[in-house]
Amino acid sequence: MTTAGDIMHRGAQWIPAHETLDRAAQLMRELNVGALPISDDDERLCGILTDRDIVVGCVAMGHDPARVTAGDLAKGTPRWIEADADIDDVLREMQTHRIRRLPVIDGKRLVGMISEADLARHLTEHQMATWAGNVYARTTTG
């Protein structure tokens, strides 16, 4: 059985909710990542911050990234997966919630992150196509 722990990118780091977006951007650059899990004061997951969130939710709105915190942009219910979860559970969680990055937790501790690139290295072409079709599918109305 392939698990979340088998395919995740190790070494993921939290960004505290009180940390500013300019510091978050610096950390993303240092780690060469496009997203950081956001932790509350008790090191519990309270959101995920992406480079796009910083640009669209802060810079493009005319706000100063040195004055806006990661917690200010944390919205909704964060999704995560246990390290021992089966790959099918990983895919289901990401597809159901249409997310491209998924923090991996082991005993309430952040141990890694699963990204689209991690999936591409471990899935068949058919599995990857199905995943992408579900995650990137447009919702139609009317």
Looking at residue 75, what is its pLDDT?
79
Distance CA 89, CA 103 (A): 13
Q: What is the pTM of this model?
A: 0.84
Q: Please report which confidence band the pLDDT of residue 142 belongs to, taking 50, 70 and 90 as the band edges.
A: very low
Q: Which residue has the higher pLDDT, 108 or 16?
A: 16
Distance CA 63, CA 34 (A): 20
User: Count of CB atoms within 10 A of residue 98's CB?
Assistant: 11
Residues 118, 7 contacting (CB under 8 angstroms): yes
Structure tokens at 130: 């199905």
Q: Domain 4-135 in CATH: superfamily?
A: CBS-domain (3.10.580.10)
